Amino acid sequence: MVAIIDYGAGNLQSVKKALDFIGAENVITGDKNEIDAASHVILPGVGSFEDAMNCIREHDLENTIKKAADGSKHFLGICLGLQLLFSSSEESPGVKGLGIFDGEIVTIPRDNGLKVPHIGWNSVELKQKDGIFDGIKDNSYFYFVHSYYLKNAPDDIVAGVTEYGVPIQCAVQRGRVCATQFHPEKSGDAGLALLRNFVQMEV
């Protein structure tokens, strides 16, 4: 069972529809017991870092999410769900994130002539070709919508990088815990392949 965490923010239906399409049993839930019982957990996210963390704390889900992302089960963060796994973000100074991974969430530079937010398809260079990227071709295209990005994460957790004026660490993976800055549920065949890889990972 895949638990899609509902913390009161985020576009959950597009993730659910993609999981339904690939035949993965799933539930949208904010229930701690359901999340704890799931073999696979997805943390989606849209909007601001501060709003999302406030919603998580208002729903008393911070410790539940940290437990789900402690490596004991398969965990996937999507878009803002990747950024929330880090300790802080330039978007929301003083707001504490989940602190699962080390790295910096910073704003995409606005002085390079590129539009911000970054919206559209970018190719992803794979740094890890197993796990969620098993069988996916290097430099496959995925769909992005974001104004902030990850940099300076340890090399051993970086699973994919892209370029949008600056190098962007757009996927991380350590053991059973992974996350993508792009939206796999909106990324066509490559995105569906990634989701299949995720849900087919054995506990």
Annotated catalytic residues are 79, 183, 185
First to last CA, the chain: 11
Q: How far apart are CA 169 and CA 167, in angstroms?
A: 7
Residue 26: is it exposed, middle or buried by C-beta count within 10 angstroms (0-12/13-18/19+)?
buried
Q: How far apart are CA 172 and CA 1, in angstroms?
A: 22
Cis amide bond preceding 184, omega within 30: no
7, 59 contact by CB (below 8 A): yes
In the block, tokens 């919508």 appear at 145
Q: 87 in helix, strand or coil? A: coil
Tally Cβ neighbours within 10 Å of residue 16.
19
